[in-house]
Amino acid sequence: MVDVKNPLFILPNSVAGGIVDENQRDHNVTASSKTSDRIFTPFGRWGKLGTMDSKAITNTPEIVALGLDSLIIRFSWVPSDQTTRIVQDFQRLLAAAKVFGLRESATALASVIVTFDRFQITRAEMIATLQDLLAIQKAEPINPIALNRIWHIPVAFGGDYGPQLGQAANMAGFTEKSAIENISGADLSVLSIGFAPGQPYIGLLDNAWNIPRQTELTPQVPAGALVVAVRQLVLFANPSVTGWRQIGYTAFRPFDVHRAEPFALALGDGMRFHPVSHAEMAALDQSNQQSK
C-alpha cells in the first residue's frame, strides 16, 4: 500500500545546483548515478533501461520540482494496476479541489504533473496543498476504476499492417498467433493520454510484454499504427516517428481535428482489440475515406 502520510519533497539537482551532499544520505536520500537524470530518490535504484523493474518501486509519494512553475507527484517508478488507481483517484481529488493558482494537471502512468501560476500561489503553498490532498487520499478508500466506456477496436495484425509483430511476439515468448490471442483477450484501459494530441497509452499487458523499446527509431509509422513496448500499447492518430514496435493497424483515429469531438478517448476508457483480416481492414479504411 502506498504510504502518503509523509510525502517527500525532492528538489532536482539541476535546480538546486552543485553536487549531491553526502549529508543527504543521513536522510536516506541518494542520487541517481546517471548524471543526466540527477533527481534525488529515496531508494537510489533505476529500473533496467527500457523496461519496468518491479523492484524499483517507492512506498512514499514524492513531490518533485520541475522547472519554476511545475511539480510532479510521483507515486511509483513503475506502473501497476494499483498505481493506476491511485494516480487517477488523485487526479479526481485535484480536479474537485479547484486549487487557486493551479493552471493545469495531467496524469502519466505512475505520476501526476501540476503547473501553477507563480503570481497567484507560491511553490511552498502548492506543495502544502498537494500534501493535504495526499493526506485526504490516504484517509479514503480507493475504489476500483469504473470504466467510463468500453471501445471495441478492429485491428489487422501482422504483415504490412504490423511488420514487427513476429519480432515483438518472439521477444515476449509468443508465436504470432498466441500474441494476437493474448492482446485481443486482454481487458485494457487508457492509462494516459499524451505525447501527441489524443494519443493513448493503453495497458497494462501481461508481464511477458515487458519488452524494451527499440535501440533505434523507426522514422515513421502511419496514422492508425498500433505499437507495443513495456507492457503498453500506443495507438497513433497521425504519422509519427517511434521507438516502439508496430504490430498492427486500425482505421480508428483517437484524434481528428475535423470531428465534432476531436478527442475520442478519455482517461480510464476500456479498450478491447478485435483481430480482423487485412481485406476487412482495407474495406474499413476505404469506408472512412468515402465518409469524409
Per-residue pLDDT tens digits for 14-63:
333 222 222 332 222 222 333 233 333 333 333 333 444 444 445 689 99
The conformational region for residue 167 under phi > 0 = left, psi -120 to 50 = alpha, else beta, is: alpha
CATH topology of domain 150-291: Cyclophilin (2.40.100)
Domain segments of the chain: what residues? Answer: 8-139, 150-291
pLDDT reported for residue 235: 97
pLDDT reported for residue 10: 41
CATH topology of domain 8-139: Gyrase A; domain 2 (3.30.1360)
Order of strands, edge to edge, in the sheet holding 102-107? Answer: 8-10, 62-66, 70-74, 111-116, 102-107
Q: What CA–CA distance (Å, rounded) separates 284 from 251?
A: 6
Average pLDDT score over the chain: 81
Other beta carbons less than 10 A from residue 194's beta carbon: 13
Pairing of strands 102-107, 232-235: unpaired
pLDDT reported for residue 292: 65
- Mean pLDDT lowest for which of 76-85, 204-213, 275-284? 76-85
Beta strands in the chain (DSSP E): 8-10, 30-31, 40-41, 62-66, 70-74, 102-107, 111-116, 150-157, 188-193, 200-203, 218-221, 225-229, 232-235, 240-242, 245-249, 270-275
Q: Are 143 and 136 in contact (CB under 8 A)?
A: no
Residue-wise pLDDT for 192-216, tens only, equals: 898 899 999 999 999 999 999 999 9
**pTM: predicted TM-score of the whole model, two decimal places:** 0.72
pLDDT reported for residue 100: 96
Query: Per-residue confidence at 84, pLDDT binned at 50, 70, 90?
Result: confident
Mean pLDDT on 266-272: 91
